[in-house]
Amino acid sequence: MIGLPLDDASPRTKKYTSVGAASLIIFLIVFFSTNLFEYTKIFFTTIPKDDSNICPVGKPIAPASFYKDNSTVLTILNNEEYREKSIKRLSGAIQIDTQIFDNQPDVDESPKTWEKFENFHKYLKKTFPLVYEQIEVETVNTYGLIYTWKGSAKKLKPILLTAHQDTVPVQNETLDKWTFPPFEGHYDGKFIYGRGAADCKNVLIAILETLELLVIQGYKPERTIVAAFGFDEESSGLRGASRIAEVLENKWGKDSFYAVVDEGAGLSKDPITKTVFANPGTGEKGYIDILVDLTTPGGHSSIPPDHTSIGIVSELGYLIEKDPFEPILTPENPIFEYFQCLAVHDPKNKIPKFFKKTILRAAYDKFANAKLVEAISKNRITKYLIRTSQALDIINGGVKANALPENTKLLVNHRIAIESNVADTIKHFNKRVIEVAKEHNLKVVSFNETVYEPKEYNGAGVFNIYSTHGGLESAPVTPSNDTVWKYLSGVTRHVFEDLVFTNISYPIVSSPSIMTGNTDTRYYWNLTRNIFRYSPFYVESFIAGMGIHSVDERLEFDGHLQLHAWFYEYLQAIDTAKADN
Ligand SMILES: *[C@@H]1O[C@H](CO)[C@@H](O)[C@H](O)[C@H]1NC(C)=O
Ligand SMILES: *[C@@H]1O[C@H](CO)[C@@H](O)[C@H](O)[C@H]1NC(C)=O
Ligand SMILES: *[C@@H]1O[C@H](CO)[C@@H](O)[C@H](O)[C@H]1NC(C)=O
Ligand SMILES: *[C@@H]1O[C@H](CO)[C@@H](O)[C@H](O)[C@H]1NC(C)=O
Ligand SMILES: *[C@@H]1O[C@H](CO)[C@@H](O)[C@H](O)[C@H]1NC(C)=O
Ligand SMILES: *[C@@H]1O[C@H](CO)[C@@H](O)[C@H](O)[C@H]1NC(C)=O
Ligand SMILES: [Zn+2]
């Protein structure tokens, strides 16, 4: 008999009657012709104990200073007077308008456009006088900021903390919907409101508050601390972070930093396990806007062809939406690791055992992988973590009621899956355009290369496919099995278990995750493999809770102090060669 896993589990010795044999044969046919065999394999998978090498949880890590005197970090978190002062500092930062818009001219071209950042710089200098006195501050492209606090140990790679000064605009039509005006920085006893409160003046202020405090205490770092703030993250970062990265790479070299900690998700209650998880972003999807421009002969609309350029591009749009990108989930994707973490750290037993086993087999078992993909794809928020997204965002065509549209243009926005790339995305796009072109006898030029030409081209028209930017590959994935990760997650355990949620009964697990959006970190890839999009503070739901880019952007102030406390402990904890890989 074929050795089924079933046999090991329940050996049988009983002789079969002929009826029994017949039913056994039927059973075997059903077993192998349906998914029953696949389900059985999952069923007999064992769930490893916590100490396995799947999503291991390191020890909490506190800096030595904490054991000598824990009063400063406790003051940050719990002292009323300190809280009041901190509210004032963040509120003041929100009150200074640093909105930016798309397609702003360069700083040199139009200094006036960017002048408002001057006010922001003045505010920072006034609010953090000791930072400006004792730490080297330089500007890049006028409004980019780099703070360098030289450490005594040249051998230790510097740490880079980043945030951005700019915010997205407040749309005038929404002004009356805000509970408190967006540039007032109002604190209502629990939340601080305003544009930038959560994205991400909170991070910028928490970093400077931490540096100011360390300077006041006469701290002497061994590891150099660098902080850098761009000023156009919300419109591609080309003028800010991109130039800052150049300066940093020239000064320090490639792969010269210990880690980069930029804005990102933090801690929240996991919707599946209902326990607190930390989710440092260790990856980031790629990005490309692909435009397709169809030019056809014009003419009078009283004698139209069967299909105008608008009709043909509409057909293309229909085809694109009918054919979404396939999901793909491999161990390369941080989301894969995230699910593995859930499977082995579920103290409240919220995940059905069978689903846990499915997750655990998903690395090498096609059937289990498909089941997991199916589950992830059911939810719109998680669905796009494992596939390239496509969104038809702009369409233009036609100018006049009695003239045929000579030109129609479509822009499709793509966020590229971790396992895919820009070239594959373009290839996929070309294929659909060629399909439509064949039907209408059109030429296709893609990125300046003719990719389709009809046999008997009669001048019916040309599709031109291009992008206004080069496209961005998905980010190199940050390791989550090294010492740098151990310190990042260890300090998180320390701050949130020892100081914030003091009566929590399970370890706070850090699990890798990805951002579907892009941040300034895209410019910092050359500086280190260890890039974290991570703002460790607790919010019940990262997506719903903060009104990011929207009306009533707000931040629960406790969260701000947690972030500040985390930076304070983290900078000291990694200030040793032991924290290096
Ligand atoms: C802070 O230090 C004091 C004095 O050593 C100690 O009693 C207290 O338990 C510490 N608090 C925390 C949260 O570790
Ligand atoms: C809102 O209105 C103000 C004043 O009228 C104007 O300066 C600003 O550009 C407008 N903002 C947006 C986003 O349209
Ligand atoms: C490629 O095409 C774009 C527009 O589609 C054009 O601006 C650019 O000059 C072309 N590049 C080359 C090398 O021909
Ligand atoms: C981490 O995992 C990667 C990929 O499996 C491996 O190549 C690397 O050696 C591991 N690093 C450490 C420090 O264990
Ligand atoms: C922790 O304990 C306090 C006091 O015993 C209680 O009020 C609070 O709800 C507990 N918090 C959690 C998260 O269990
Ligand atoms: C990173 O280094 C490569 C190779 O030297 C260079 O081409 C690229 O421009 C650098 N990337 C950034 C974002 O600076
Ligand atoms: Zn941001």
**CA pair distance 387, 326, nearest whole angstrom:** 6
Identify the CA nearest to 153 among candidates 577, 580, 578.
Answer: 577
Q: Does the pLDDT at position 503 exceed 80?
A: yes
CATH 3.40.630.10 residue ranges in the chain?
Answer: 64-101+110-282+476-579
Neighbours of 14 (CB within 10 A): 6
Share of the chain above pLDDT 70, in %: 95
pLDDT of residue 71: 98
233 classed as catalytic: yes
| Mean pLDDT across 191-197 | 96
Kindly report, residue by residue over 448-460, the tens digit of the pLDDT: 999 999 999 999 9
Tokens of 498: 């020892």
Neighbours of 201 (CB within 10 A): 31
CATH 3.30.70.360 residue ranges in the chain?
Answer: 286-325+388-466
Cα 245–Cα 247–Cα 252 angle in degrees, nearest 5: 90
**CA pair distance 164, 199, nearest whole angstrom:** 8
Cα of 526 from ligand 6 centre, angstroms: 6
Q: Look at 34 and 150; give whichever has higher pLDDT.
A: 150
pLDDT of residue 13: 45
| Mean pLDDT across 48-61 | 82
Tokens of 25: 């044969």
Q: Model's pTM, two decimal places? A: 0.89
**286-325+388-466 to CATH, choices 3.40.630.30, 1.10.10.10, 3.30.70.360, 3.40.190.10:** 3.30.70.360
Residue appearing with tokens 């290096």: 580
Identify the CA nearest to 146 among candidates 222, 42, 34, 231.
Answer: 231
How are the residues of the chain apportioned to helix, strand and coil, as percentages rounded to the nearest 5? 40, 20, 40
> How high is the mean pLDDT of the chain?
92
Q: What is the largest CA-CA distance in the chain?
A: 93
**Ligand 6 lined by 325 (C-beta under 6 Å):** no
Kindly report, residue by residue over 109-133, the tens digit of the pLDDT: 999 999 999 999 999 999 999 999 9
Tell me whether residue 97 is annotated as binding: no
What is the atom index within ligand 3 of the atom nearest the CA of 464? 5
pLDDT band (50, 70, 90) for residue 5: very low
What is the atom index within ligand 1 of the atom nearest the CA of 499? 13
User: Which residues make beta-bridge pairs with 446?
Assistant: 449, 465
pLDDT band (50, 70, 90) for residue 381: confident
- Substitution candidate for ligand 6 out of 526, 527, 531 with most atoms within 8 A of CB: 526
Residue 286: φ, ψ to 5°? -80, 180
* CATH superfamily label, 64-101+110-282+476-579: Zn peptidases (3.40.630.10)
**Ligand 1 lined by 312 (C-beta under 6 Å):** no
What is the atom index within ligand 1 of the atom nearest the CA of 71? 1
Cα of 480 from ligand 4 centre, angstroms: 9
**Ligand 3 lined by 180 (C-beta under 6 Å):** no
Cα of 334 from ligand 6 centre, angstroms: 24
Contact 424, 437 (CB under 8 A): no
pLDDT band (50, 70, 90) for residue 2: very low
Residue 231: φ, ψ to 5°? -140, 15
Cα of 331 from ligand 4 centre, angstroms: 13
Q: Does the pLDDT at position 415 exceed 60?
A: yes
End-to-end, the C-alpha distance of the chain in Å comes to 52
pLDDT of residue 16: 53
The H or E element spanning position 245 is helix 241-252
pLDDT band (50, 70, 90) for residue 8: very low
Neighbours of 432 (CB within 10 A): 17
The DSSP code sequence of 423-473 is HHHHHHHHHHHHHHHHHHT-EEEETTEEEE--TT--S--EEEEE-SS--BP
What is the atom index within ligand 2 of the atom nearest the CA of 101? 13
Residue 328: φ, ψ to 5°? -150, 130
Give the residue whose CA is nearest to atom 1 of ligand 4: 481
**CA pair distance 431, 467, nearest whole angstrom:** 16
- In eight-state DSSP terms, residue 300 is B
Identify the CA nearest to 417 among candidates 370, 474, 339.
Answer: 474
Tell me whether residue 549 is annotated as binding: yes
- Substitution candidate for ligand 4 out of 282, 337, 480, 481 with most atoms within 8 A of CB: 481
Tell me whether residue 345 is annotated as binding: no
Q: Of these residues, 209, 233, 337, 497, which one is catalytic?
A: 233
| Mean pLDDT across 289-294 | 97
Share of the chain above pLDDT 90, in %: 83
In the chain, DSSP finds a helix count (H) and a strand count (E) of 19, 18
Q: Of these residues, 166, 232, 270, 293, which one is catalytic?
A: 166
pLDDT of residue 9: 35
270 classed as catalytic: no
**CA pair distance 534, 161, nearest whole angstrom:** 10
**CA pair distance 204, 208, nearest whole angstrom:** 6
pLDDT band (50, 70, 90) for residue 225: very high
Q: Look at 225 and 172; give whichever has higher pLDDT.
A: 225
Residue 218: φ, ψ to 5°? 70, 25
Kindly report, residue by residue over 122-174, the tens digit of the pLDDT: 999 999 999 999 999 999 999 999 999 999 999 999 999 999 999 999 999 99
Residue appearing with tokens 């233009």: 396
Kindly report, residue by residue over 75-95, the tens digit of the pLDDT: 999 999 999 999 999 999 999
